Amino acid sequence: MDPRESLPTSPDAARARLVTELRARDVGLTRTVQNAFARVPRHIFVPEVGPAAAYRDEALVIKCGPDGLPVSSSSQPAMMAIMLEQLDLGRGHRVLEIGTGSGYNAAVMAEVVGPGGQVVSIDIDPELVARAEASLNEAGYFDVSVLRADGGYGAPGDAPFDRIIVTAGAWDIAPAWLDQLGPGGRLVLPLSLRGMQLSVALERAGEAWVSKSAWRCGFVPMLGDFAGPERVFRLDEPQPLVAQMSDGSPIDGLALRHALTGPATHVGARAPVGLSEIADLDLWLTLTSRDLARLTVLAAPGGWLALAPLLPVGGLIGHATDPGRIGVAILVPTETAPDGPAGPSAPPRVAFSGLGPGGATIAAWLADMTIEWAARGRPGAHELELTVRPTGVGPEPASPGAHVSPGAYVMRRPSVTIQAGWPD
C-alpha cells in the first residue's frame, strides 16, 4: 500500500502532520516558523489537489508553459522553512518576496512578521497574481500586498525592506534587491552557480555582500529582464529529451542523444563517499572542474533513458559540440547506475557513470578527484563562502580573498561579480 494513502484527510490533521515532519528535520526550525506553518491553510492555495495531498512535504506545480514545463510551483514546505530560517525573519519586519506563485509563502511570512510587519510580493504573471490575491483573501491575509511587475526591479515605492526573499532561480543578482534593503538587511535567493542552485543568505559587508549560509535547492528559473542564459532545450526525435546547459553553453543535441543512449562505463569513486555526501561532492566537482560544463537532464518522457529513475539528474560534460569526443559523467549511487562495465576496484556505494565517446575518461578523472575532495575535508554547500560585489563598486576580485582557498571560482554576471570557494 502507498504509505501516503494513510495520511490524514482533514486539513487540520494533515497540517499538524506536516508541522511534525518539518520539526523532525535538522534545519533549526524556530517556534515562530513552526507556528506559522501550523496556522496557514495550504490547501486553499493549491486547490488542484485534495486537502491531504496539499500538506505533503512536496513542491506542487501550479502552472506550466506551452511546452509543458513548469513555470511556477508551490515550493516544498521543507525548503520554504530552510529559506525562512536563512532569512532570519522576525516580528515587525518589512519583507519583499520576488515570485508570488500560489501566495502560500507570502501567507506564512505574514504570520511570522505579525500585524506590525508588512509583506509585499511581486510576480510577473498576471494570472498568478490574480490567483494569489484570491487565495490570500480567502485565507484571511488581507494585508499582504501583491504586485504585478518584473520582480528584478523590486518594489521601489515600498522600500526600504528589512528582508528580501527570491523564490525563483536567479542567475544574476538584480541591483534593486541590494539597493532596496535597509541597514542590517538580508537577501535570500536561489542562486545558480554553474547550473547548480544554492539557496544563499547574503548580508552587506562594506561595499560587498557575503554569504551567511547556503543550501542546495531547485527552483523554476526566473523570468523577465533578469532571466539568465541557462535555457531549457528540448530534443524531440526519435525520443523526447529535456535538458539544460550551465550558463547557456553550446551543445550538439544529436551527439548528446547518442551519448546518453550508448553504453555506460561505471567508475567507482577513489575515496569513500557516503550517499548523504553525494550532493556536496557534486557541488565541489562542479565548481572546481572548470574545463567541464554542467548538464542537467530534466525529463525523458517515455522512460527510454537508462538514467530515468534518477531524473532530474545533473552531471559534467566535456567537448559538448564535438560528436567524436563528447563525454558526460554523472555521479550516482552504484545501485542506480546504468548497466555497463565496472571499474577496476570493487564497486563502492558511489560511482561515476561515463557516457559518450569521452565519458569514460571524464568519469575516471572525476573519480580520481574524489581523493582531493576527501583530503580537503569533504567540503560542501554548508562550508561554501560567497562574496558578491556589485559591478562598478570597488575593485572586482581578480583573485581569491584572504580567507578563501586559491581554487575559488569567480563568476562575472551583468550586475555583480560572485566569488565562491571554501576556506583553507
391: helix, strand or coil: coil
| Catalytic positions | 75
Q: Quick one: CA dihedral 77, 82, 84, 89, positive or negative?
A: positive
Task: Judge whether 45 and 107 are in contact, CB under 8 Å.
Answer: yes
Helix, strand, or coil (residue 129) = helix
- Within 8 A by CB and 6+ apart from 378, the residues are 277, 280, 281
Q: In what order do the strands lie in the sheet with 232-235?
A: 232-235, 241-245, 293-299, 313-318, 327-333, 350-355, 264-268
Residues 6+ apart with CB under 8 A from 82: 27, 199, 215, 217
Residues 6 or more apart whose Cβ sits within 8 Å of residue 93:
112, 113, 117, 162, 163
| Contacting residues for 121 by C-beta, under 8 A, at least 6 apart | 96, 97, 99, 100, 103, 106, 132, 144, 145, 146, 147
Strand, helix or coil at 66?
coil
Q: What is the dihedral of CA 369, 317, 349, 25, to 10 degrees?
A: 100
Which residue type occupies 344? P
What is the separation of C-alpha 190 from the centre of its chain, rounded to a whole number of angstroms? 5
Kindly report the backbone phi and psi dihedral angles of residue 416, in degrees, each rounded to the nearest multiple of 5, phi listed first: -145, 165
Angle at alpha carbon of residue 187, lines to 57 and 414, rounded to 5°: 110
Give me the phi and psi of 161, to 5 degrees please: -115, 155
Torsion angle, CA of 281/282/288/292, rounded to 10 degrees?
150
H or E segment and range at residue 254: helix 253-261
